[in-house]
Amino acid sequence: MGRLAGSTCYLVGPMDAAHDGGEGWRKEQTLKLRQRGVLVIDPCNKPMIGGSRDELSGRLDINQMKVEGRFDEIRSKYGEEIRGQDLNYVDVSTFILAHFNAHVPTCGSYEEVFWANRCKKPVIVHYEQGKEYIPNWMFLTFPEKMMFGNWNDVDSYLEYIDNAPEVDSLGRWKFIDWARIIRDTERVYGPL
């Protein structure tokens, strides 16, 4: 296993307006990340203890509340369950993998990646139409070396981060030596 083993990755991208609720690309990337030993946090299948795991029913309920004009109920009912949990996933993640499509509107995804940026977390941006179509503001915000226009380049970058003898951390990547923590803990406290 490489440097990424034991890290956590939160998958950010459109859900409300995505034709598949944002599940397709997340499933593909989860398989690849798991091969690297990365724990993946997928908002399509929320792992929060005591929280709702069904993102789709929440979206459908919010859409119905909007149709019925019950706008004042949306935030109180779902603000913490959806937005609060998702921002917490950013907080507990080692890095973020974000997917954007110019033809699929999103709002929460932008808040999540900009929050991760403020926390100086690595944010890997994939833009479906190509790197040259990434919004200008992102180039002003994130290291250019972490923005990509195709999944093969994302995979190559993750391979570099995971296994290159030395990596440019871009002031973002921080790697924990889990084997050392276990070894030192066992030396002092005995086997886990």
Selection from 80, 145, 146, 156 nearest residue 113 by Cα: 146
Given this structure, which CATH class describes domain 8-189?
A: alpha beta
Quick one: average pLDDT of 84-98?
A: 95
Give residue 82's pLDDT band: very low, low, confident or very high (50, 70, 90): confident
Instruction: Please answer whether residues 127 and 153 qualify as being in contact, where contact means their C-beta atoms are separated by less than 8 angstroms.
Output: no
131-149 tens-digit pLDDT? 999 999 999 999 999 999 9
Tokens of 188: 């002092």
Give residue 136's pLDDT: 97
Name the pLDDT band for 43 (thresholds 50, 70, 90): very high
* Strand order across the 147-148 sheet: 39-41, 8-12, 95-100, 123-127, 147-148
> Has residue 158 got a pLDDT over 90?
yes
The span from the CA of 134 to the CA of 21, in Å, is 21
- Domain range list for the chain: 8-189
Question: Against a cut of 0.75, is the pTM above it?
Answer: yes
Residue 52 has what pLDDT? 57
Chain segment 57-74, per-residue pLDDT in tens: 788 899 999 999 999 999
Q: With cut-offs at 50, 70 and 90, classify the pLDDT of residue 54.
A: low
**What pLDDT was estimated at residue 51?**
60
